[in-house]
Structure formats: C-alpha cells, structure tokens
C-alpha cells in the first residue's frame, strides 16, 4: 500500500481523524483538508506516516481547484478521496437563517461535488481510484429539526448514485457511507454529554468504511448503512 495518496476533507476531528490515522498506518500519504489548520495539526500528531495539511474551504470552488492542483503536483495523483467535511445546524425549518442554509448546502453538498470534480478526470484517465462520500442516515429519511441538513444529505445521495452510474463501466469505485450519530465534537452544544456517550465510536465506523472499500473478487459494495443500536 506504500506511496498511495489519500485526501480526507474534514480530517481535523471525529471520523475524519480516525480515517486519517488508520490509512496512515496502511502506508498512505495523507492530505488533510479543513478550514481550521490547528485541528488538522492535532490529527497529524497521531499519524504514523507522511502527511500534508491544507487549509481550505471546500465550499469555495476556486480554493478546491487550487488546493488539489497543488497536492497533486507535490504528492502525486489522488488514489482515494474521502468527502467527509460536513456541518449541521438543527432547528425547525422556519427558524433557519440564510447563513445556516448556505453553510449546509455549500459545505455538505457543493463541497462534495467540487472535491469530486477535482479528482475525477485523472482517476478516469488512469481507470482506477476510490471516492468515499460520508453522507449520514440523514440522507435516507427526513427528520425533525433537520430539514435543510437532510436536504443537503439527500443531495449527496443523488450525486453519489448518479456518479456510480456514470462510472459503471470503469474501475473507479464509489462508496456511499450512511451512518448515525457518533461520539464526536459535531454534537457539542446539541446533545448533552451523557447522551453523546451512547453514540457510535468513530473508530468503529472508520473500520467498517475501510473494510467495505477493499477490492474483492466478483463483488462491489456501493453503499454501507451503519446505525446506532
């Protein structure tokens, strides 16, 4: 697995950090993308191999294009893209202000599209590569206080399923990961600490995602659903 190049958005904490650590142990060079470099630097302390830190807002098409051009030049073609960056603001639909709506659509949906567009041409040209879209069970059913969050995740689901269809005749693989709540800072200020303790461990979720990414003879996994008990 040496010399493989993985890009993980939202790698500063939670699932993104767990995935970065586990992929680093497998020999990947990890390019970590996020808006807050200090959080990425914290993740970097747990990595066992080479890495790069890229401060970028995935909601900005220009920043994404510039960042991916730079990391491709410095570290080689991206073999694995994990679209993990996401934000959730939970209120009744009529109480969500414009900035909340924009953030969820721009980061969750547009960010996934922009990063995917940045790696697709070379993956298709080389006819190999893997894209993992971290979507959430909010992309499978509507939920109270999550109308726009669900809308962004349903959009990711539609984008992912269409991408799978477009790449059906190629060796570029796409995996949609739908998971429930995890014990991560994502829920700070939303759930009480005692409630967060009953959620899934991001290390366990990371293991399941990586297991379903593996190339296996005569089968392909397009999606995995991981739910809380």
The confidence score (pLDDT) of residue 27 equals 94
The confidence score (pLDDT) of residue 1 equals 43
Q: What is the pLDDT along the chain (229 residues), one digit of tens a residue?
A: 447 999 999 999 899 999 999 999 999 999 999 998 999 999 999 999 999 999 999 999 999 999 999 999 999 999 999 999 999 999 999 999 999 999 999 999 999 999 999 999 999 999 999 999 999 999 999 999 999 999 999 999 999 999 999 999 999 999 999 998 776 666 566 666 666 667 888 999 999 999 999 888 888 899 999 988 7
What are phi and psi for residue 66, nearest 5 degrees?
-65, -45
Active site residue 149: yes
CATH code (residue 218): 3.40.50.720
> 14-25 and 202-213 helices cross at what angle (nearest 10)?
50
The confidence score (pLDDT) of residue 183 equals 63
The sign of the dihedral angle between the CA atoms of 133, 134, 136, 142 is: negative
The confidence score (pLDDT) of residue 101 equals 98
> Residue 212's domain spans which residues?
5-226
What are phi and psi for residue 123, nearest 5 degrees?
-65, -45
Question: Do 16 and 54 meet the contact criterion of CB atoms below 8 Å apart?
Answer: no
Task: Write out pLDDT tens, residues 32-69.
Answer: 999 989 999 999 999 999 999 999 999 999 999 999 99
The confidence score (pLDDT) of residue 181 equals 79
Out of 28, 149, 178, 191, the active site residue is 149
Q: Say how far apart CA 120 and CA 126 lie, in whole Å.
A: 10
Query: How many structural domains are present in the chain?
Result: 1
């Amino acid at each position: 697995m040496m010399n493989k190049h993985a890009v993980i958005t939202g790698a500063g904490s939670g699932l993104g950090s767990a995935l970065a650590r586990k992929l680093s142990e497998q020999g990947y060079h990890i390019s970590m993308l996020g808006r807050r470099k200090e959080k990425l630097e914290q993740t970097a302390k747990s990595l066992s191999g080479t890495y790069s830190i890229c401060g970028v807002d995935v909601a900005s098409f220009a920043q994404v294009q510039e960042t991916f051009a730079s990391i491709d030049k410095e570290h080689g073609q991206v073999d694995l893209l994990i679209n993990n960056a996401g934000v959730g603001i939970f209120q009744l639909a009529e109480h969500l202000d414009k900035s909340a709506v924009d953030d969820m659509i721009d980061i969750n949906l547009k960010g996934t599209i922009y990063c995917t567009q940045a790696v697709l041409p070379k993956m298709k040209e080389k006819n190999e590569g893997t894209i993992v879209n971290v979507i959430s069970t909010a992309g499978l059913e509507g939920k109270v206080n999550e109308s726009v969050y669900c809308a962004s995740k349903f959009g990711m689901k539609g984008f992912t399923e269409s991408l799978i269809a477009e790449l059906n005749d190629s060796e570029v693989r796409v995996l949609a990961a739908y998971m429930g709540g995890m014990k991560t800072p994502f829920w700070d200020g939303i759930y009480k600490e005692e409630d967060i303790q009953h959620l899934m461990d991001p290390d366990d979720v990371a293991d399941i995602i990586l297991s379903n990414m593996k190339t296996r003879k005569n089968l392909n996994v397009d999606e995995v659903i991981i739910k809380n008990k």
